[in-house]
Chains A and B, each alone.
Chain A
Amino acid sequence: DTAVSQTPKYLVTQMGNDKSIKCEQNLGHDTMYWYKQDSKKFLKIMFSYNNKELIINETVPNRFSPKSPDKAHLNLHINSLELGDSAVYFCASRAGGGTNEKLFFGSGTQLSVL
């Protein structure tokens, strides 16, 4: 059983299109995240939700809109895709805010904007 699963694994699309990436975790965790890993492999946090509530919203263009229908799901919708959006997007989750709670990652979605 995959603990944190993302779909699709690969996404190739044209500039200007709108696309979504889905994430689901079956760990019963309260908190979920979206991270972006750029071409230099640097991971940056984008958003975090706790029990469906947005708690972290980094300086991300408002073309990016996360949605959490329930605490097991956190989707990422991107409008009007740009070349610079090409990256690997990772979903992650953790149980809560305690000091002993590990982050668990999905396998990533490689987005290529042409």
Chain B
Amino acid sequence: KQEVTQIPAALSVPEGENLVLNCSFTDSAIYNLQWFRQDPGKGLTSLLLIQSSQREQTSGRLNASLDKSSGRSTLYIAASQPGDSATYLCAVGGFKTIFGAGTRLFVKA
């Protein structure tokens, strides 16, 4: 049974810092891994999707990596801004897409 863990559960950083969010999963037989952003009271917005055959994906200040053999993914956010404050969720795609509990990020101005 796939289990997805995200560390840390919460993170507070000053504006401008680079930061890394971590996601680990127990079953390496995955189709893909997707990172989402969720703002309070809102739905989920897809940030990046890494296919199982890929190692990383980049979009603007975001870079996500995938290491299937070790069951890990990281989301790197460069030069964080207050507008980045949200909950970040990783989701491991297989027959079912399984979500981690998320990392709540707060970027202080």
A: residues with CB less than 8 A from B are: 4, 33, 35, 40-45, 48, 56, 90, 92, 97-108, 110
Contacts and interface: CB of A to CB of B under 8 A. Distances in A.
B51 A43 contact: no
B36 to A, nearest CB: 8
Interface residues of B, number: 26
A107 B41 CA distance: 8
Interface of B is mostly: strand
Contacts of B43: 4, 90, 105-108
B31 A45 contact: no
Interface of B: 31-32, 34, 36, 38, 41-46, 49, 51-53, 87, 89, 91, 93, 95-99, 101-102
A108 B87 contact: no
A99 B97 contact: no
Nearest to B89: A43
B42 A107 contact: yes
Given A100-B51, A103-B34, A103-B91, A45 B97 contact: yes
B93 A41 contact: no
Contacts of B38: 41
A72 to B, nearest CB: 18
